[in-house]
Amino acid sequence: GKKRIIIAIDGPAASGKSTTARKVAEKLGYTYIDTGAMYRAVTFKALREGVLEGLRRSPGSVSGLLDTISIEFRGDRVILDGSDVTAEIRDNRVSREVSFISSLKPVRDRLRRMQQDLGRQRAVVMDGRDIGTVVFPDAELKIFLVADARERAKRRYAELLLKSPEGAELPDLDLLEDEIKQRDEEDTLREHAPLKKHPDAVEIDTSDLTIESQVERVYTLALAAGTK
């Protein structure tokens, strides 16, 4: 028979997680949950309230930030404390600080609980860094996406090119690659819920795959996992 399952997709930056997760969710009629957007929303809140430097000096004070926070998904929009921050959380300033905020245990504890609530009815595709290892270690299907760092930098560059107004200055590819590697390193080396492949996860290298073929592979695995 067909059952409602959880599909956990983890991997480093720009490996193709959200593109794959969104399309697989659509094909299955499941809900897609972008947990990176939740960590980005907390980071955006810290920047907006001007408390980031204070947090670096005394990380314990992060609970103040979490006390009143509300994060919701409405369709593909991300709502922080009642306002739409979908565009703002993709800002480079947020990308540079998000690994620090994500390393704090109170932040992880709070978001993990929110994510577990969102997946309670199952029928979700959730992507992030620790979904298969920590948030849903019992997920019926676990995927670990990887891709060559240069290729990942090129993907981000292509996205910036599309988003930027004509004549805008773009960061160079080497810088993008360095920033991506730096974030992967911070995410991999942190103490709490580091980026890591679960032993049962299926690893897929997307460096030389088309989007269609990576989606097809995960979709096929999902159909098999849902009929076991």
| Interface residues toward ligand CDP, by CB under 6 A | 11, 13-19, 35-36, 39-40, 98-99, 102, 128-131, 155, 159, 183, 187, 206, 209-211, 214
Q: Could you tell me the smallest distance in angstroms from the CB atom of residue 132 to ligand CDP?
A: 10
Alpha-carbon distance of 36 to 18, in angstroms, equals 9
Q: Could you tell me the smallest distance in angstroms from the CB atom of residue 35 to ligand CDP?
A: 4
Task: Please say which residue, 137 or 227, places its beta carbon nearer to ligand CDP.
Answer: 137
Task: Please say which residue, 140 or 187, places its beta carbon nearer to ligand CDP.
Answer: 187
Instruction: Tell whether residue 13 is among the known ligand binding residues.
Output: yes
Alpha-carbon distance of 55 to 22, in angstroms, equals 33
Q: Could you tell me the smallest distance in angstroms from the CB atom of residue 70 to ligand CDP?
A: 19
Count CB-CB contacts under 10 A for residue 208. 9
Task: Please say which residue, 39 or 144, places its beta carbon nearer to ligand CDP.
Answer: 39
Instruction: Tell whether residue 21 is among the known ligand binding residues.
Output: no
Task: Please say which residue, 86 or 214, places its beta carbon nearer to ligand CDP.
Answer: 214
Q: Could you tell me the smallest distance in angstroms from the CB atom of residue 180 to ligand CDP?
A: 8
Q: Token digits for 78?
A: 């991300």
Binding-site residue numbers for ATP are: 11-19
Binding-site residue numbers are: 11-19
